[in-house]
Structure 1
């Protein structure tokens, strides 16, 4: 499974933590989400998957999916897209469906780019 690490996102350092529970200051999200990106503290929290009905491979896939999703949030935040589109409710750069689309499709897109030699 994953270990905590630091990563550069568009020139800014983010800390990524894999946790069983979110810190107390983020406890309001505890039961609603699998990951959080706090752009102001430049930190990402990924909750470890504890669902006993999911295999070890499935838990790893769940954590990877969540990590990709939260990293996309960080990229949108650091690029200025989140701040500049968040003036309206449901703005695309804060929209969970849009972030999910990027997070879910990016491995497939990168694979295609690699196959055709344009990565």
Structure 2
């Protein structure tokens, strides 16, 4: 349960950032309580779906493909709920924004993970140096 909450929280963080970027570049979008809440819920569910990458039986590319289409499905459901589907689903702009956000979140996530691993490795190296 702790892991699910952790992944949901990370998803909400990335989703909040994404939503703010969408609002920044689309000033005609007026945030409402319902679409903010649904966007945060969508982000949490997408974050939870990242647990796919922890399944050892799935290779990375398969997990990535499943996660991509799961994310797309969750986004479409959110768009239907908010009444946005007819407006943008069939435009090139939607697909470009979706892919850019997906890739950007992945890049940020990879950088974050690399920094964490580097920090852990440095701490382990210092600990080993003290033992000598």
TM-score range, shorter chain: 0.3 to 0.5
TM score, norm. by length of structure 2: 0.34
Please identify the structure whose Cα radius of gyration is greater.
2
**Hey, which of these two has a bigger chunk of strand by percent?**
1
What is the TM-score with the length of structure 1 in the denominator?
A: 0.36
Q: Which has the higher helix share?
A: 2
Highest RCO, 1 vs 2 (Cα 8 Å, sep ≥ 6): 2
